[in-house]
Amino acid sequence: MAAIATIFALIQPAFAQTKTIAALGDSLTQGYGLIQQEGFVDQLQAWLRARGHDVIIANAGVSGDTTAGGLSRVEWTLGPNIDGMIVALGGNDVLRGIAPETARTNLDGILQSARAKEVPVLLVGISAPGNYGPDYKSDFENIYPDLSTKYDTLLHPNFLSALMGREDLSGLMQQDGIHPNAQGVALVVEEIGPQVEALLERLD
């Protein structure tokens, strides 16, 4: 009996390895226009679990949120049970024409908070449109690789890159042309998923 108890004590931690990753983002993360099971967070969690990962993805997405909004709530997002974080913000900054330097400062503050709590991060960027000019586009898109290098995060340059360059997006996007539908989200998850797996490796 003592031997059995010893073996049980040794293997018990193996059943307590669930990792929790907070997905801090905007409507793309929150799952705007979709039922819960179809959204990014739920599809990502299902994709990871199907590949054998014991993980919870906590939905910290707020529709309409900017990088400033993310900065304002990062401290309570990084609660004691959070092991890692996906940061996917910036789309609403671009839609509002917010200066790249402002977005950079906000994202820098978010990553500072994660570093202070020793929480590994996957930073997810966005593709800025060209209607504000090439300098704005370049300055905004460069925020993500620059900060990823500064804070040694994992990086996925563009949340929607899995959908870019396709001739026909009608079957992958919602009617607003901004948010992917369930099928589009599935493609996004397939592309981002391996980098979330890499994030999980940093949590061990």
Catalytic residue among 26, 27, 65, 83: 27
Question: For this structure, is 156 an active site residue?
Answer: no
Catalytic residue among 42, 93, 148, 179: 179
In terms of Cα–Cα distance, which of 95, 92, 118 is closest to 107?
92
Residue type, 128: A
Question: For this structure, is 176 an active site residue?
Answer: yes
Residue 156 has φ and ψ, to the nearest 5°, of: -120, 110
Contacts of 200 (CB under 8 A, 6+ apart): 19, 21, 48, 53, 55, 84
- CA dist 32 and 63 (Å) reads 7
In terms of Cα–Cα distance, which of 114, 110, 109, 45 is closest to 79?
114
Catalytic residue among 135, 168, 176, 204: 176
- CA dist 130 and 162 (Å) reads 19
Contacts of 33 (CB under 8 A, 6+ apart): 174, 176, 179, 181
- Residues known to be catalytic: 27, 176, 179
